[in-house]
Homo-oligomer: A and B are copies of this chain.
Amino acid sequence: MSVPTDLASSVRVLAFDIFGTVVDWHGSIVQEMAQLHPEVDGGAFARAWREGYKPAMARVMSGELGWTRIDDLHRMILDDILPRFGLAGLAEAERAHINHVWHRLHPWMDSVEGLTRLKRRYTICTLSNGNIGLLTNMAKSAGLPWDCILSAEVFRAYKPDPATYLGVARVFDLAPGQVMLVAAHHEDLAGARACGLRTAYVERQFEFGTSDPKDVSPQPGNDLHCESLVALADVLGA
């Protein structure tokens, strides 16, 4: 894939979606549940947990709930789904431990290498609905070399609210077109594009596990489409 030189040089900040784009939430949860509760279908459990995520954020953004961090939304959803998986009896300490799995998610194989290369040429930051503490703990455990951790918690709004995308540009005193969102989700990229950001789609075919591959065919509108973060570093010359 050839990249116009002006794109690579006009972009100054790369903002990364995290869950699914940089780290493998599905595989990480399946792996932890296999150790903690091998009797549970870890894939179904991970998907059920993740399915509660957008509705929970929508309740915050509609004003039905006051500002609530993802750690607390994750916990509400967890408490809700546990009975469905025969785990209604889990004690507080184990619930808290499982809820923190989101702080311990593993990076995709190419993430650390790709980010390390991209960091040489660009400012690299998170732009995640995850809270700051979660993202910081994850960075330490996964070895993600962020220059800066930005989050819905900083902007008090969840993606795809424009306050998040425009907030990144504002933090760095840049025009929106000098910021590129990197994500594996078209809705997120569309939100960024509508605010004038550049966008890069990353294929994460197995976000929902190897038995349920995602359609990762190119869609129009994005500036870049790449297989991995290493491929993104290649096309951006980093």
Contact = CB atoms under 8 A, between A and B. Distances in A.
A100 to B, nearest CB: 10
Interface residues of A, number: 20
Given A71-B173, A148-B149, A149-B149, A136 B123 contact: yes
A71 B174 CA distance: 14
Given A71-B173, A173-B71, A136 B148 contact: yes
Contact of A132 (B133, B140, B171): B171
Copies of this polypeptide in the complex: 2
Interface string A11-38: 0000000000000000000000000000
25 contacts: A71-B173, A123-B136, A123-B137, A123-B140, A125-B136, A131-B171, A132-B148, A132-B150, A132-B154, A132-B171, A133-B171, A133-B172, A133-B173, A135-B148, A136-B147, A136-B148, A136-B171, A136-B172, A139-B147, A139-B148, A140-B147, A148-B149, A149-B149, A153-B171, A154-B154
Interface of A: 71, 123, 125, 131-133, 135-137, 139-140, 147-150, 153-154, 171-173
